[in-house]
Structures are given as structure tokens and as C-alpha cells.
Amino acid sequence: MGRRCGVLGDPIEHSLSPVLHTAGYAALGLDWSYAAHRVASGGLTDFLASLDGEWRGLSLTMPLKLEAVPLVDELTERARLAGAANTIVFDQGRLKGDNTDIPGAIAAIRERTSAPLATAVIIGGGATATSIGLALADLGVRDIEIVVRSPERGAETCETVHGHPGHPDVTVSRLDEVTAFDVDLVASTIPADAQDAHLVRACVAVPTIFEIVYHPWPTPLAASIGDRVLVSGFDLLLHQAAVQFELFTGEVAPLDAMRAAGEQALAASSGS
């Protein structure tokens, strides 16, 4: 039986999720569909109310990851810990909220590097930064610095990440006071146009850069990578989508087919 899935957010036009999931369905011969839907902040309740029994799952981008939490019937432990759900699974009339950014980030990092990670900086303080912080804590990072424009923007992320069962040490710093980072990994969750030369210089000695943005590409941080390790936003998108695919379909995600389709779409969008 054909089922429907989709990705919601605002803006949503740039999303590669339809490409990835559709390629996965084609590879496995599934008669499923997946499309992007623009849903602004405050619109998730009405959108959910409009769906029928054909629907199996939703992927959520900002600003809906936080909005989904009180609207579902059940949260997985990782979604509860993050306080954010980027995935909704429809299961016999019940809505289950999950957070695939956390396992997706872990898989993305470990695909690119097996180096031990003890210290990290996360630039930005939103829901994605929180999920990345929890993923890093799962990987054994015990010293995490949240770098934001204003300290109050990072307070909730700091508290949530410290609440991980490993209880990493988490501090908050101001972005305009950054000099140079001496850590194992820097993860940036801020837009490309917010990455100035000062920030790029501060990251120049960091061996692994996790650039969450995948459009536009390359970002200033990605362009400066040289021979260091780069974990890209596409890596994260692919691996979290693979977890979603398996939650929705019950099938093992055809990662190679999904990756190839995504890379082709990225190359086409950049004109290369």
C-alpha cells in the first residue's frame, strides 16, 4: 500500500529531504511519496489535523522542532532529552515524536573521523545546536563550549546538554569575544552569512569542522578546511534521513542510493 510522508518548515524550498527519501523508495521499489510543505510557525496543529490515514511520517525543520513536542502522544527518550522533535511517526492513530538529528550527527561524524573527541565548541544556541551537543556527549565529549551572540541565547542549550547522562561540562561564551579555539571539534549551526573572517581565523587550528549548513555551499568555514576533516551539513542530513526512512518504512535505508541522489541534486543546484 502506498503511503505518504513529507518535510515541513519555513523556508522549505531548499530542502533535499524529498530527493533523499524518494530515492530510497525507488531503490526498494516502494510505492510511497514524499514532498515538501511550507508550514510557518504556529501552523503545525492545523497541518496535522488535515492529514488522513495515508500518512506515515513527517520530517520537521525549523521552526517546528520545538512546536511538535506538546502535540505528539509520545516522545522517544532522545527527543525528550533534547526538548525537540524533528520526526513524527504515525502509528495506529498515535503520534510518536523522535529526534534523528542526534543519531544522524553521530553517524556523520564517525563516517569522517575515528579520532577520539574530548573537547568541542558549538557555534549557535538553537534546537540543532542542542541536538549536536547531545550527540557529542554520546561520543564521549566531556567539555563543550556554546558560543553565541548573547549569553541568554545559549542558556537553555547549555542546561539541556549538561543534562545528558554523562553530564559534560558546558559553558557559554560570546561570539564577539572569540579569539582562537583549541578543541578537537567545532560544530557551526549558524548561517553562512554570519561566518565572518574573524570566526574563520578562530577555527583555523581545529582538526575537525562540523558545518551544519549545506546550502549555500561552500560556507566560509567549509571553504577554509584545507587538509583538515570536514563533516558537512549534507552528511548530517543524509544520516538523519536514513534513520527517519527506517522509522517510517521499517526497511533498512539504501544509503548509497540516497547519497548519490542528494549529491547529484547538490551539484545541480550549485551549477557544477
Residues listed for the chain: 272
Q: Is 65 part of the annotated catalytic residue set?
A: yes
In 3D, which of 82, 46, 52 has the Cα closest to residue 65?
Answer: 82
Contact 100, 165 (CB under 8 A): no
Contacts of 211 (CB under 8 A, 6+ apart): 188, 219, 221, 222, 230, 231, 232, 233
Q: Which of 3, 21, 56, 65 does the annotation list as catalytic?
A: 65
Q: Give the number of other CB atoms < 10 A from CB of residue 73.
A: 10
Contacts of 183 (CB under 8 A, 6+ apart): 119, 120, 121, 143, 145, 206
| Beta strands at 229-231 and 143-148: parallel, antiparallel or unpaired | unpaired
Three-state SS for 167? coil
* DSSP characters over 169-237: EEEEEEGGG-----SSEEEE-S-GGG--HHHHHHTTT-SEEEE---SSSS-HHHHT-TTSEEE-HHHHH
Q: Which residues are catalytic?
A: 65
